[in-house]
């Protein structure tokens, strides 16, 4: 019988369940050494999240700009033609590049009113000027990407397009350059 008592008293490896740990720091998180592995892991995860979100946002912006460009072209094409020639495409592209001239003149007119130094629309003005310079540079060098209106089938498909953004990949695009 003594062996049985001895067996019970030496059962020291059996542990009682522990309760949840209590954060005694008052809700404050621990400081992390900036040179530690944990800090580099957190920085890496943060940088990846920022990069992914900025890439997704820039992709949405590019699709939105392309959608607006195609809607402008659809509103300004001559539906009586069967297809466009190179010269007509260049003229239409020049009209597209001049689409913001009215807004730029309006901003300059508002700034010239009165005798004070008005910088109310300066950020919009800078953005318009930058867009115009970028489009002109593309038009003079590698070419500005526009919908292909020279092919009769692509032109017909472009005219029947209802403006839905999910059909953007089906619209054929081409680059138009300025002739020398």
Q: Where are the domains of the chain?
A: 75-180
- CATH architecture type of domain 75-180: Up-down Bundle (1.20)
Q: How confident is the model at residue 107 (pLDDT cuts 50, 70, 90)?
A: confident
Alpha carbons 73 and 77: distance in angstroms, whole number: 6
pLDDT of 5 > 60? The answer is no
% pLDDT > 90, the chain: 44
State the pTM of this model. 0.66
Given a contact cutoff of 8 angstroms between Cβ atoms, the answer to whether 131 and 100 are in contact is yes
Dihedral pair phi/psi, residue 156, rounded to 5°? -65, -40
pLDDT band at 60 (very low <50, low <70, confident <90, very high): confident
- The pLDDT-based confidence of 30 (bands split at 50, 70, 90) is confident
Q: CA separation (Å) from 147 to 12, 83, 100, 105, 117? A: 81, 12, 19, 28, 42
Average pLDDT, stretch 101-108?
A: 90
Please state, in angstroms and as integers, the Cα–Cα distance from residue 173 to each residue in 94, 103, 149, 170, 179, following that order: 17, 27, 9, 9, 19
Contact 66, 116 (CB under 8 A): no
Q: In this prediction, what percent of the chain has a pLDDT beyond 70?
A: 82
User: Is the pLDDT assigned to residue 7 strictly greater than 80?
Assistant: no
On whether the CB atoms of residues 64 and 56 are closer than 8 A, the answer is no
Contact 82, 180 (CB under 8 A): no
């Amino acid at each position: 019988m003594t062996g049985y008592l001895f067996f019970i008293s030496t059962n020291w490896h059996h542990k009682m369940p522990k309760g949840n740990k209590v954060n005694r720091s008052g809700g404050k998180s621990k400081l992390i050494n900036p040179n530690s592995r944990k800090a580099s892991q957190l920085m890496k995860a943060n940088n990846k999240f920022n990069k992914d979100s900025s890439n997704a946002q820039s992709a949405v912006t590019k699709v939105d700009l392309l959608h607006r460009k195609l809607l402008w072209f659809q509103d300004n094409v001559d539906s009586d033609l069967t297809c466009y020639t190179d010269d007509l495409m260049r003229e239409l592209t020049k009209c597209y590049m001049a689409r913001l001239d009215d807004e730029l003149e309006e901003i300059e007119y508002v700034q010239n009113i009165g005798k004070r130094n008005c910088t109310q629309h300066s950020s919009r003005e800078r953005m318009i000027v930058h867009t115009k310079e970028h489009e002109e540079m593309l038009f003079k060098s590698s070419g500005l990407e526009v919908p292909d209106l020279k092919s009769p089938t692509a032109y017909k498909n472009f005219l029947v397009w209802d403006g839905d953004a999910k059909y953007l990949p089906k619209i054929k695009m081409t680059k138009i350059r300025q002739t020398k």
